[in-house]
Chains A and B, each alone.
Chain A
Amino acid sequence: MIRIIPVILILTFLITREITPQISVQTADEQQISKIISERGGKFLLLNFWATWCAPCREEFPDLQKLHESYLEKGLEVIGLSVDYPDETESKIKPFLKKAGSTFPVFVQDVNNDEKLINMIDPEWNGAVPLTVIYDANGNKLEIIEGKKSYSEFEKILSKHLPLAE
């Protein structure tokens, strides 16, 4: 019986690993952020700026996950860009993503200058998060959405731009 225990433990580990996908959070500097926006591979982009310290951002995550699940095949990619510090990836970002059960790609900014990143995304943005920007398949900015939005509010906005939306 004792001999079976390690086997069971190894099997449990392997099965759990299979079920729970590894959470990957890559850092993104200015160049990488530009690349995320411009290299679209034929897909529209919903880029959500958020932070683990931002309550409305955290509340918005289930709706972003739902959008990711229902819109990826309709030609929209959902990407989260955390404005936390890169060294908070293991301590704050990954634990939150795990708890939220989100599976869409998430990056953490590595621009190291709030103002530079804010102005790069939109010169009129004051830095309040969450902020969501929608880009077309050529990386052209279509919508700037300030504050927390619900799934249906996002759908309404997307329906103006995505032919397959709704």
Chain B
Amino acid sequence: MRKLMSFVLTAFFALGLSNLSQASDLKTGRQNDDPKKVENFSLPDINGKTHSLSEYSGSKAIVLMFISTECPVSNAYNDRMVQLTKDYKDKGITFIGINSNKAESVADIKQHAADHKFDFTILKDDKNIIADKLDASVTPEVYVLNGSLDLLYHGRIDDSRRVNEVKTNDLRSALDEILGGKKVTNPKTKAFGCTIKRVD
């Protein structure tokens, strides 16, 4: 009987402690898991033309790239984004830039795109509605979807802000696997970047 009591008490305290540790888990306020599917959305591009994700249902993959005109990390990737577009657009992959920063105007984005010879559509996410929907927080940050808008990859373009120190080309690897009909081996990656400046 004493043994049973001791077992019950131990189990009770163990359960209590585990609940306490769960209760004290801290949250950053963001979703822990990525959504499996992205809801269709429409946004105007920098020339005022509205685009919907559903327009690209025939693509083998849609690469959404949250970018910035001012963020030095995003800017370190300008040439890499141009090269990626060049290398993959003829393979049925659509590249779309999204600018959700409140302080970056359409005129600034247009000038920046021209300066860096961006050959992809850039959408202006006024009031960061799409950044909020996808829980995008940094620039650059990419989301890769298939034509049915299932999320296949989320994270960084590669693992170094310095192009000559890149060890893993995470986005390229994901795209190659998608084109090869394979499951993306590493569907989520992270890197330091500039916070997306949202509206208050």
Contact = CB atoms under 8 A, between A and B. Distances in A.
Nearest to B197: A56
A83 interface: yes
Contacts of B156: 114
Interface stretch (A15-23, A67-75, A126-134): A126-134
Contacts, number: 72
Given A53-B72, A114-B159, A124 B30 contact: yes
Given A126-B137, A126-B138, A128-B137, A83 B192 contact: yes
Contacts of A118: 190-192
B26 interface: yes
B48 interface: no
B28 A115 contact: no
Interface string A31-65: 00000000000000000000101111000000000
B168 to A, nearest CB: 10
Contacts of B71: 53
B89 to A, nearest CB: 27
Contacts of A24: none
A94 interface: no
Interface stretch (A96-104, A139-147, A149-157, A158-166): A139-147
B121 interface: no
Contacts of A91: none
B169 to A, nearest CB: 14
A12 interface: no
B193 interface: yes
Given A53-B72, A143-B26, A127 B32 contact: no
A144 B190 contact: no
Interface in B49-101: 70-73
Contact of A144 (B27, B192, B197): B27
A138 interface: no
Contacts of B125: none
Nearest to A129: B192
Interface in B144-196: 156, 159, 162, 189-196
Contacts of A51: 192
A113 B28 contact: no
Interface of B: 26-30, 32, 70-73, 137-138, 141, 156, 159, 162, 189-197
Interface of A: 51, 53-56, 83, 85, 113-115, 118-119, 122-130, 141-144, 146-148
Given A128-B193, A129-B194, 9 more contacts: A53-B194, A114-B191, A127-B138, A127-B190, A127-B193, A128-B138, A128-B194, A146-B28, A147-B195
20 contacts: A53-B194, A54-B195, A55-B70, A85-B162, A114-B156, A114-B190, A115-B190, A119-B190, A126-B137, A126-B190, A127-B138, A127-B190, A128-B192, A129-B192, A129-B193, A129-B195, A130-B195, A146-B28, A146-B29, A146-B137
